[in-house]
Amino acid sequence: MGAIAAGIAMFGAALGAGIGNGLVISKMLDGMARQPELSGQLRTNMFIGVGLIESMPIISFVVALMVMNK
Protein backbone atom coordinates (compact mmCIF):
# COMPACT_ATOMS: atom_id res chain seq x y z
CA MET A 1 0.00 0.00 0.00
CA GLY A 2 2.91 2.33 0.74
CA ALA A 3 4.33 1.82 -2.74
CA ILE A 4 1.03 2.85 -4.32
CA ALA A 5 0.88 5.97 -2.15
CA ALA A 6 4.48 6.82 -3.05
CA GLY A 7 3.74 6.37 -6.74
CA ILE A 8 0.69 8.60 -6.57
CA ALA A 9 2.66 11.27 -4.70
CA MET A 10 5.45 11.21 -7.27
CA PHE A 11 2.98 11.27 -10.16
CA GLY A 12 1.25 14.34 -8.76
CA ALA A 13 4.50 16.14 -8.09
CA ALA A 14 5.90 15.37 -11.55
CA LEU A 15 2.68 16.44 -13.25
CA GLY A 16 2.49 19.66 -11.24
CA ALA A 17 6.12 20.50 -11.88
CA GLY A 18 5.75 19.88 -15.61
CA ILE A 19 2.72 22.12 -15.88
CA GLY A 20 4.31 24.78 -13.66
CA ASN A 21 7.56 24.83 -15.62
CA GLY A 22 5.67 25.07 -18.89
CA LEU A 23 3.64 28.03 -17.67
CA VAL A 24 6.66 29.87 -16.25
CA ILE A 25 8.75 29.42 -19.38
CA SER A 26 5.92 30.35 -21.75
CA LYS A 27 5.18 33.54 -19.81
CA MET A 28 8.88 34.43 -19.77
CA LEU A 29 9.10 33.99 -23.52
CA ASP A 30 5.96 36.09 -23.95
CA GLY A 31 7.51 38.83 -21.82
CA MET A 32 10.77 38.68 -23.79
CA ALA A 33 8.85 39.00 -27.05
CA ARG A 34 7.02 42.07 -25.77
CA GLN A 35 10.02 43.79 -24.12
CA PRO A 36 13.36 42.44 -25.34
CA GLU A 37 15.30 44.96 -23.25
CA LEU A 38 14.15 43.20 -20.06
CA SER A 39 15.32 39.75 -21.16
CA GLY A 40 18.10 39.57 -18.54
CA GLN A 41 15.79 40.32 -15.64
CA LEU A 42 13.10 38.00 -16.97
CA ARG A 43 15.60 35.18 -17.39
CA THR A 44 16.87 35.61 -13.84
CA ASN A 45 13.35 35.58 -12.44
CA MET A 46 12.52 32.55 -14.56
CA PHE A 47 15.44 30.58 -13.13
CA ILE A 48 14.37 31.45 -9.59
CA GLY A 49 10.80 30.38 -10.34
CA VAL A 50 11.84 27.15 -12.01
CA GLY A 51 14.09 26.34 -9.06
CA LEU A 52 11.21 26.86 -6.64
CA ILE A 53 8.89 24.77 -8.79
CA GLU A 54 11.44 21.95 -9.03
CA SER A 55 11.78 21.81 -5.26
CA MET A 56 8.31 20.27 -4.97
CA PRO A 57 9.14 16.98 -6.79
CA ILE A 58 12.32 16.68 -4.70
CA ILE A 59 10.37 17.11 -1.47
CA SER A 60 7.72 14.71 -2.76
CA PHE A 61 10.42 12.13 -3.56
CA VAL A 62 11.75 12.34 0.00
CA VAL A 63 8.24 11.98 1.43
CA ALA A 64 7.57 9.03 -0.89
CA LEU A 65 10.73 7.31 0.33
CA MET A 66 9.68 7.92 3.92
CA VAL A 67 6.22 6.44 3.22
CA MET A 68 7.69 3.37 1.55
CA ASN A 69 10.12 2.69 4.40
CA LYS A 70 7.50 3.07 7.11
> pLDDT per position in the chain (70 positions), as tens?
888 888 898 999 999 999 999 999 999 999 999 999 999 999 999 999 999 999 999 999 998 888 888 7
Predicted confidence (pLDDT) per residue in 8-23, tens digit: 989 999 999 999 999 9
Nearest CA-CA partner of 53 in 15, 13, 27, 17: 17
User: Which residues, other chains included, contact 44 with Cβ-Cβ below 8 Å and sequence gap of 6+?
Assistant: none
